[in-house]
Amino acid sequence: KAGVTQTPRYLIKTRGQQVTLSCSPISGHRSVSWYQQTPGQGLQFLFEYFSETQRNKGNFPGRFSGRQFSNSRSEMNVSTLELGDSALYLCASRLAGASGEQYFGPGTRLTVT
Amino acid sequence: AQRVTQPEKLLSVFKGAPVELKCNYSYSGSPELFWYVQYSRQRLQLLLRHISRESIKGFTADLNKGETSFHLKKPFAQEEDSAMYYCALSGGSGTYKYIFGTGTRLKVLA
């Protein structure tokens, strides 16, 4: 079956702009999580959506938001971009249960100039 | 506090030497533990999980509940093992948290 897909793969934005990233989970997966990956901080959890509801949230400012649609596709939005937001943003999906393997997408590389 | 700790950011070993990537966790309850790996230019992917008790690519990891550790081991490192390794835990029934460590970069030198 098709893996997790993320669009776009690369983005260049300037400070102050906003950006929307998209993630399509594996068919049948209802949980979608978002992570920020940087060389210095590693993998940091942003939030998780399940059945269109956010059920977990990491320690990121309110500029970072997300949503999930009825088909389980998810979007992440970052407003008022800062240079420090430059990172690889990863999306992961898993089945409905609490535990289990997460399947990761290839990521969206965001560069803020 | 609930956390996963990987004390080494970088671990360099020579080819053929044993490898141990450390992972300690703090979690109230019975979590499920995982190791994920990210090879250069590839997606982050599951390497192994504690409940399956299997060896993948020569790697094993044993859950030590007394020491709250889940160290990843391989007796003889190979150059293709060079990658970023993340330890993670998933909360048990009733919670949906998934917590990753900060990762350890393994470099296997020829």
CA distance A24 to chain B (A): 15
pLDDT at B54: 83
Confidence of residue A55 (pLDDT cuts 50, 70, 90): confident
* Edge-to-edge strands, sheet with B72-74: B19-21, B72-74, B60-61
pLDDT at B98: 81
Cβ contact B64:B93 at 8 Å: no
Q: What is the pLDDT of residues B29-85, one digit of tens each?
A: 888 899 999 999 999 999 998 888 788 899 999 899 899 999 999 999 999 999 999
The CATH number linked to B22 is 2.60.40.10
Identify the domain containing residue B56 by its residue range: 3-109
Average pLDDT over residues A65-90: 97
- What is the total residue count of chain A? 113
Which positions 8-37 of B are in contact with A (Cβ < 8 Å)? Answer: 32, 34, 36
Estimate to the nearest angstrom the gap between the alpha carbon of B38 and the chain centroid.
11
Number of domains observed in the structure of chain B: 1
Identify the DSSP state of A30. Answer: -
Is pLDDT above 90 for B20?
Answer: yes
CA distance B75 to chain A (A): 25
The DSSP line for A12-24 is EE-TT--EEEEEE
Is pLDDT above 60 for A98?
Answer: no
Check CB contact under 8 Å for A106 and B100. no
pLDDT at B95: 63
pLDDT at A84: 96
Is pLDDT above 90 for A80?
Answer: yes
Give the containing element (helix H, strand E) for B45. Answer: strand B45-49
Confidence of residue B27 (pLDDT cuts 50, 70, 90): confident
Cβ contact B85:B98 at 8 Å: no
pLDDT at B4: 93
